[in-house]
Structure 1
Amino acid sequence: MPARELQEQLNTLREQLEQNPPLNDDERANLHDLMNQIEAQIQLESATNDASLADGVNLAVERFEVEHPGLAGTLRNIVQTLGGMGI
């Protein structure tokens, strides 16, 4: 089930953030906002094709790819799962 997989990936991202990677306040706030959006999508369990959510996660991948490859990898997995859900 894609929603369960997405929730697991979101939990992984939370765990990574709890390890306090060197992020500035804006970066941390951006990731928390994306996580809240993903959580809301999971709760709705709708396939409404919310492309803006996937776009936001893709932008976060690009932003963190060089300095925080672990976060970027988890975010990439989230993008793939969203795509599998039709989002």
Structure 2
Amino acid sequence: MPAAQLQEQLIALREQLDQNPTLSLDERDRVHELMQQIESEIALEEATQERPSMVDSINVAAETFEAEHPTVAGVLRNIAVTLGNIGV
């Protein structure tokens, strides 16, 4: 199920944040905000079967983190791909 895959990827992203002390507070806040949005979208999808789009925001965030935090960027890209695969 796609929502389960997204939940697993969010867990992986949280682990990366915990293991990456070089992220600034602003960067962490931005990722946490995206994670909250993704969790809200999952809840909305489960409640209404609607899939609002947020892939662009996730891709922009991944590009932002690519140079200094490639692992975080990779997890964000995986999330974007999963959302794309489910038609978001």
- TM-score when normalising by structure 2: 0.88
Q: Which has the higher contact order (CA 8 A, sep 6+)?
A: 1
Name the aligned partner's letter for residue 5 of structure 1.
Q
Q: Which one of 31, 35, 47 corresponds to residue 50 of structure 2?
A: 47
Q: Cα RMSD between the aligned structures?
A: 1.2
- Give the whole-Å Cα distance in 1 for the aligned partners of 2:10 and 2:17: 11
In structure 2, the partner of 1:58 is 59
- Residue 5, structure 1, aligned to residue 8, structure 2: no
* Structure 1: 5+ residue stretches without partners: none
- Give the whole-Å Cα distance in 1 for the aligned partners of 2:20 and 2:84: 28
Larger mean Cα displacement after TM superposition, 15-24 or 70-79: 15-24
Instruction: Give percent identity, aligned residues only.
Output: 56
